[in-house]
């Protein structure tokens, strides 16, 4: 059976829908007293992860329920998506909106004092980004040996920058490269949590199970938002399937080893399994073999809202809905089901 050793929280991307995750976390941390050794976030999850690692849930709720469009997006020509897109094309910009407001907000909230608390504290925060030149997915962690406040802030901004809609970002020490939202390749960074040694993972996904939409998409911004959601569903479901595969294979291996010890010398069986090289391990990585993991997963039953639609009243509604949804045990999924003894 699985031993619950290191506890991790994984938060998917979702833009404004991150307020729903914040509400769920208010319940998990403030009401249930859940604690996490590491928190891994993509996109909006990257903005949430450091504050959860610090336990600053009250501040997190305040930030998310008071944010406005202008706090996140730099409008270049009015507030119309179409006008901003046309202006960006005419002026040779790389995105519809600027991310300067978001960058200023991240820098303000990740103060030097807060960074030092995170850097020296026991819990790790990780964010994912994609290198636009190489296409490589990378992770930046608060406790990496060479990590600095400037680099981590840069990585947070990059992870939250949805390409085309939002500007690409530079990251300190990564000369010559541009980075964008890690959700492009890793909407639900479950694999990274497992590689960091997590054995018990709580996953918050900011979108429902894949399925048909019960409406038409007639306007430009509706089509764009739907496209983002569809892309996210595909990468997200791949992440979840991967986690299931890893755990089922390793649980099967553990059961096989247990059964072999019933008829063979237990010490020799243990030695044989321990001597299996990483190259022979189907679920191994370059630096760490995977371990069987238990998952608790929370995701809404319906689409929460638009990815880039912000406003205090809207965000308060998302936050309240997330809290209420998380407080109902029936809304939680446990995956994969443990194999029978």
Report the length, in residues, of the chain: 341
Look at residue 172 and give its three-state secondary structure.
coil
Helix axes 44-54, 112-120, angle to 10 degrees: 70
Look at residue 89 and give its three-state secondary structure.
helix
Q: What pLDDT, on a 0 to 100 scale, did the predictor assign at position 288? A: 43
DSSP string spanning 23-70?
HHHIIIIIIS----SEEEE-THHHHHHHHHHHT-HHHHHHHHHH--HH
Enter the DSSP assignment of 331: G
Q: Which residues of the chain have pLDDT under 70?
A: 1-5, 210-215, 217-255, 257, 268-292, 335-341
pLDDT tens, position by position, 190-242 = 889 988 988 899 999 998 876 666 667 666 666 666 666 666 555 556 666 66
Distance CA 204, CA 226 (A): 20
Using CA atoms of 11, 12, 14, 18 in order, give the dihedral in degrees to the nearest 10: -10
Region label for 338, one of left (φ > 0), alpha (ψ between -120 and 50) or beta (otherwise): beta
Look at residue 244 and give its three-state secondary structure.
helix
Bridge partners of residue 202, in order along the sequence: 9, 296
Burial degree of 243 (CB within 10 A; 0-12, 13-18, 19+): buried
The candidate with the shortest Cα–Cα distance to 293, out of 173, 163, 193, 216, is 193
pLDDT tens, position by position, 52-69 = 999 999 999 999 999 999
Q: What pLDDT, on a 0 to 100 scale, did the predictor assign at position 339? A: 40
Joined together, the tokens standing for residue 200 give: 């018990």
Q: What pLDDT, on a 0 to 100 scale, did the predictor assign at position 263? A: 75
Bridge partners of residue 16, in order along the sequence: none
Q: What pLDDT, on a 0 to 100 scale, did the predictor assign at position 250? A: 60
Beta-carbon count within 10 A of 108 CB: 9
Q: What pLDDT, on a 0 to 100 scale, did the predictor assign at position 60? A: 98
Distance CA 225, CA 142 (A): 31
Mean pLDDT computed over every residue of the chain: 84
Look at residue 94 and give its three-state secondary structure.
coil
Enter the DSSP assignment of 207: S
CB 73 within 8 A of CB 218: no
The candidate with the shortest Cα–Cα distance to 15, out of 307, 337, 331, is 307
CB 319 within 8 A of CB 61: yes
pLDDT tens, position by position, 123-151 = 999 999 999 999 999 999 999 999 999 99
Distance CA 290, CA 199 (A): 10
Q: What pLDDT, on a 0 to 100 scale, did the predictor assign at position 4? A: 42
């Amino acid at each position: 059976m699985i031993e619950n050793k290191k506890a991790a929280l994984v938060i998917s991307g979702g833009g404004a829908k991150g307020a729903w995750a914040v509400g769920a976390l208010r319940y998990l941390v403030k009401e249930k007293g859940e604690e996490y050794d590491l928190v891994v976030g993509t996109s909006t999850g990257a903005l949430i992860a450091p504050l959860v690692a610090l336990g600053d849930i009250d501040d997190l709720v305040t930030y998310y329920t008071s944010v406005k469009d202008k706090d996140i997006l730099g409008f270049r020509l009015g507030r119309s998506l179409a006008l901003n897109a046309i202006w960006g094309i005419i002026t040779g910009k790389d995105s519809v909106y600027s991310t300067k407001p978001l960058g200023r907000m991240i820098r303000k909230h990740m103060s030097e004092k807060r960074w030092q608390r995170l850097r020296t504290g026991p819990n790790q925060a990780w964010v994912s980004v994609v290198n636009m030149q190489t296409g490589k997915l990378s992770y930046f962690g608060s406790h990496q040996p060479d990590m600095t406040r400037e680099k981590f802030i840069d990585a947070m901004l990059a992870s939250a920058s949805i390409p085309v809609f939002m500007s690409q970002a530079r990251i300190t020490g990564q000369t010559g490269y541009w980075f964008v939202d890690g959700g492009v390749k890793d909407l639900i960074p479950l694999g990274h949590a497992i590689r960091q040694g997590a054995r018990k993972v709580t996953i918050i996904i900011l979108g429902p199970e894949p399925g048909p939409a019960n409406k038409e998409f007639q306007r430009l911004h509706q089509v764009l938002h739907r496209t983002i959601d569809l892309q996210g569903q595909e990468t997200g479901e791949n992440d979840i399937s991967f986690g299931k595969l890893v755990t089922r294979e390793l649980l099967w291996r553990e059961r096989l080893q247990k059964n072999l010890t019933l008829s063979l010398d237990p010490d020799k069986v243990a030695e044989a399994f321990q001597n299996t090289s990483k190259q022979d391990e189907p679920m191994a990585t370059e630096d760490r073999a995977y371990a069987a993991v238990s998952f608790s997963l929370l995701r809404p039953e319906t689409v929460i809202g638009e990815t880039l639609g912000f406003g205090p009243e809207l965000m308060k509604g998302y936050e309240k809905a997330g809290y209420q949804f998380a407080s109902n045990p029936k809304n939680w999924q446990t995956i994969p089901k443990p194999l029978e003894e």
